[in-house]
Every structure is written in C-alpha cells, then in structure tokens.
Amino acid sequence: MERWPEAVYTYIKELTLFDDPVLRKMEARAKNENFPIVGPATGAWLYFFTRLTGAKRVFEMGSGFGYSTWYFAAALRDNGGGEVVHTVWDAELSEEAKIWLEKANLLGTCDFQVSESTLALEAADPGIDLIFMDIDKEGYLDALPSIKRKLRPGGLLLVDNMLRDGNVINAKDQSEGTKVVRKLNQYLSDSPDWEYVLNPIRDGLGIARLVG
C-alpha cells in the first residue's frame, strides 16, 4: 500500500507532541519492548475529540499500560473534570498504568478495571460520551451492540487499527481480524445509525458518531 514518506509522519508527530516527559518515557517503554501503542499522532486525535465534544465520560476498551489513557485523562482535566475508564485483562498492566498516570498527575480522572472490556462496558451506566475500542480485532463486531447501548446519542466511537497495515484492501489477507475490520468499516459506513469517517493516520482511526 502506498504511504507517505516517514519524514511526513515525523513532521506530523512533531506538530502534535504534548510537552510531558511521562509520555516520552511511556513511548520509550513501548519501543524497547515492542509494545503496541497508538503513538503521539493518533494520541493527539484522542485528546482533541475528547476536548471538542466536551466529554465528561470516556470508556476505553483495551488500554494497555495507560498510554492512550493519558490523552483522554488530560483532555478530561482540561474539560474541567470527568472520568476515563481504563480496562485490561492483565492486572500487572493495570497497576503499571496507575503508576504512569500518577506520575503525570492524572490519576484523579481515571477508573481502573481489570476485566474483559466488553463485560466491563456492559456493567457501565449508559450515557457515555466517547468510547475508544482497541481490543482484539476479532471481537470488534461482537462488541458493537454493547457500545451502541452505552454510548449517548451524538456520542463518539473511536476505533483503532481500521486499515490493518493496508490489508483491508488486500484480497489475499483472509485472516479473521482483517475480515472483521472490513465488515465493521462497511457496516459503520452503511448503517443509518452511524455517521462514519475513516482517518488514515497511522493504522487508521475509525470515527463514528451515534445518530440520535
């Protein structure tokens, strides 16, 4: 798949860097251990969508060691308060995320839950302003009914990895994760319940507004 030169992405990243040494350390941790994170360019979108919608309630489905949580928590702080729910299966990752967010002075806007993300979402009260999904790609479609029930009308769903490294248009890629992502892209585009755009930043950020 044709891409912009890496220098263009570096240019974008430099324009969207947030001045927090904690983020730089989290990025170094991810690079050193090959741990997947959304990265600074996508992270900026998470922050700005949270700010633009005036969100008070954010729910993360799949939160890793808290890198993406930083952007939501910072935006909620700058919105005047709120809560982001950080969910992971791994208790050690949850504890690590608490340490990072405490170092960033953002712990007060975070709720940490060790759980399968869809089960945690089902237990949440409806009326959530923004949901971010970054779970196993095979589970994207199955999670959508829960997301629709819990998101407020006009709320946003953000979905990571919606280009699958370009393989959404590679007919040879028939892996289950890629097939599910293709189906979800098409469904969100066609459904009258959603207004959908696909942002090509990094590995594709799906942006869906629940009509209502």
Beta bridge partners of 87: 113
User: Do residues 81 and 56 touch, judged by C-beta distance below 8 A?
Assistant: yes
Structure tokens at 212: 């209502």
User: Which DSSP symbol is given to 162?
Assistant: S
What pLDDT band is residue 140 in, cutting at 50, 70 and 90? Answer: very high
How many other β-carbons are positioned within 10 Å of the β-carbon of residue 158?
Answer: 25
Mean pLDDT (whole number) for 103-130: 97
Nearest to 148 by CA among 194, 115, 186, 111: 194
Mean pLDDT (whole number) for 57-74: 97
Q: What is the pLDDT of residues 142-171, one digit of tens each?
A: 999 999 999 999 999 999 999 999 999 999
Give the burial string for 107-139 (b: 16+ CB within 10 Å, else e).
eebbebbebbbbebbeebeeebbbbbbbbebeb
Report the helix count and the strand count for the chain, using DSSP H and E.
8, 7
Token pair 């030169």 is found at 5
Q: What's the full length of the chain, in residues?
A: 212
Radius of gyration of the chain (CA): 16
Q: What is the pLDDT of residues 180-207, one digit of tens each?
A: 999 999 999 999 999 999 999 889 999 9
- Which domains are present in the chain? 6-210 (3.40.50.150)
Kind of pairing, strands 205-210 and 151-160?
Answer: antiparallel
Total-model pTM: 0.95
Nearest to 72 by CA among 101, 98, 96: 101
In this prediction, residue 83 carries a pLDDT of: 98
Nearest to 35 by CA among 9, 6, 64: 64
In this prediction, residue 123 carries a pLDDT of: 97
**Dihedral over Cα of 11, 17, 22, 23: its sign:** negative
What pLDDT band is residue 1 in, cutting at 50, 70 and 90? Answer: very low
